[in-house]
Structure 1
């Protein structure tokens, strides 16, 4: 029989850890999805994953991201997962749109990067996250906040939407202070917030600005309630990061109650002997099923065909978010989540030992109800 060329999926990873690596579960999760599709006869053609891992913004450069995109196109990728960071996605959008050959799915939160060829399955969005964060803070009884915003494209976009969200939730913003997007001393900024005595502190930005905030608050002897957006998901990546978020409440995508998520984790554990119970593996499972569904239904199997097939994905149960969250795209629909609880709020315990489910936009949650 003639050899069949694999359908190629590109992975553009634009945020690397301190060792230059990336999450160890992403490729095993995507391979699990590909094998499930093959075993179920949904996709007969073999699948190959092509990786480009570069350090984009904020710690690296956009040029590395741009070059990686074109390399993946030249490697015959039919769809690309990435970039992950909004600052890179916004800058990459003109290249993707002008080329008009390969669709990408990004987890970046900025709606400024969406387009005909750019699909968003964001870890929240800068328009929606502040609404959820402010709602949870109001449910907690907060009536005033001080905002620490990262002085960056992401931070200032979040700041704009957080102002509107707090106003809608009946929360008065008493002060706003910029903080660097890189690690630095936060004593001056936290002292400025403490001086106006808000009920809580809200952080908005990519997440690196949180580093040192707890330490600064402890130094000045003021430890109010603390809220953040999906920057909170850094808490799942290491014990050190969880320590930075000790006592914080933030937005996350992992909900132990989600049966689709539990089914995925059961399958992953059966294959690999471990159970990665945090936001990113279920998220990758959702992205993988979107991409494999599009490859299986694309007619013809080309970049434009895959783009059209992504637009036809409807009401796919999601492993991400609270029970009932689903996935869909469509003509002029580039935000993939369906449901008000695609993001939940979790809290890192004060001793930083673990995180627990805390709330959704619909109300506070008793963590004892989680399985």
Structure 2
């Protein structure tokens, strides 16, 4: 895929920063707000003097897991390194980030700071920084709290047979023990070839009070169809795969009925102001977490570059360690972005995760819950 030149600032007047963008999700609808969010952050940082030259975004795309090939993602990430990028935003999906981390640790001669949306804690090394679009360890506790607070006692679990699904399921079992919930059935499903009718039938034999789904998200719509065909409408909870309702148009209707983990909160005034500037700049608005996440990656990286003593991969990595208490456009009010030595996880503040559900008219979503106080 080629990207329009207007994603880049005017770099004709002098040197520019080479910033890599590694896109490993084949969802075309999300590319524009994702790139525009990054672009806005870097342009604002340049205008404010945080960085001393404009950024040139070098965009590479590969269809990684779950439907593609992790090696393809590793290959395009390495191309960004070879082209002299000082850092990379992406890859985004846990499976692919783990592959890039393994490549860094075993094969890459040069490493660059890599900012990801992956939710696994296994991704981190010296150069991997996480702007997790969710968290495999923490989302299950928010979901378990939400189920327990509703007075429900038993739950059926569906998880994808892949690293994120297994990680979610393990942490959800811990969360259920803490909340006094009983898991009456747990079933793994494939990421691409699925018989959700059989899975729903298996669940119905155990009659759980609620369902919980963990994975990348593609089976969610198929589960809704199977539930409808079976005439069963239990309360159902989904991990951060819920944000597919923002990035795949048909999923806003297809995921109705699910309550899911999200990172958009209307009460975050930093995010609201950023979205207003985004709309003024680009002529459209999306009230969801895709542009805010992209912007936060961009502003965090720009600040790290500004702190770098040298514009080299190591200099930028060390500069990111100096990013402290940066107000976040993503998550609830008060969420901050901080890094440090041995600290590669961006979000600080309990409400960087929230629960939302799709409105009755399927035109947007509404806030349902935050972590229990």
CA distance in 1, matches of 2:208, 2:274: 42
What is the Cα deviation at residue 273 of structure 1? 2.2
Q: Is the 8 A contact 2:357 2:366 kept in 1?
A: yes
The residue that corresponds to 1:95 in the other structure is 103
SS in 1 for 2:60: strand
SS in 2 for 1:173: strand
For structure 2, list consecutive stretches of 5 or more residues without a partner in the other structure.
1-11
For structure 1, list consecutive stretches of 5 or more residues without a partner in the other structure.
364-371
CA distance in 2, matches of 1:355, 1:31: 26
- TM-score scaled to structure 1, two decimals? 0.93
The residue that corresponds to 1:28 in the other structure is 36
What is the Cα deviation at residue 325 of structure 1? 0.5
Q: Is the 8 A contact 1:96 1:102 kept in 2?
A: no
Find 1:123's aligned residue among 115, 133, 138: 133
Count of equivalent residues: 360
Q: Is the 8 A contact 1:183 1:212 kept in 2?
A: no
The residue that corresponds to 2:285 in the other structure is 275
Question: What pairs up with 1:172-211 in 2 under 5 angstroms?
Answer: 172-182=182-192, 184-211=194-221
Q: Is the 8 A contact 2:307 2:322 kept in 1?
A: no
CA RMSD of aligned residues (A): 1.6
Structure with greater contact order relative to length (CA < 8 Å, sep ≥ 6): 2
What is the Cα deviation at residue 276 of structure 1? 1.3
Find 2:83's aligned residue among 70, 75, 91: 75
Q: Is the 8 A contact 2:36 2:291 kept in 1?
A: no
Deviations 1:52-100 (A, max 9, x none): 0110111111121111011000111001011111111111102223435
Find 2:275's aligned residue among 262, 265, 279: 265
The residue that corresponds to 1:369 in the other structure is none
What is the Cα deviation at residue 349 of structure 1? 3.2
Q: Does 1:300 align with 2:313?
A: no
What is the Cα deviation at residue 182 of structure 1? 2.1
What is the Cα deviation at residue 4 of structure 1? 3.9
Question: What pairs up with 1:36-75 in 2 under 5 angstroms?
Answer: 36-75=44-83
Moved more, 120-129 or 38-47: 38-47
What is the Cα deviation at residue 29 of structure 1? 1.8
The residue that corresponds to 2:348 in the other structure is 338
- TM-score scaled to structure 2, two decimals? 0.93
SS in 2 for 1:175: strand
The residue that corresponds to 2:249 in the other structure is 239
Q: Does 1:107 align with 2:111?
A: no
CA distance in 2, matches of 1:74, 1:47: 17
CA distance in 2, matches of 1:184, 1:349: 27
What is the Cα deviation at residue 174 of structure 1? 0.5
What is the Cα deviation at residue 22 of structure 1? 4.6
What is the Cα deviation at residue 259 of structure 1? 0.3
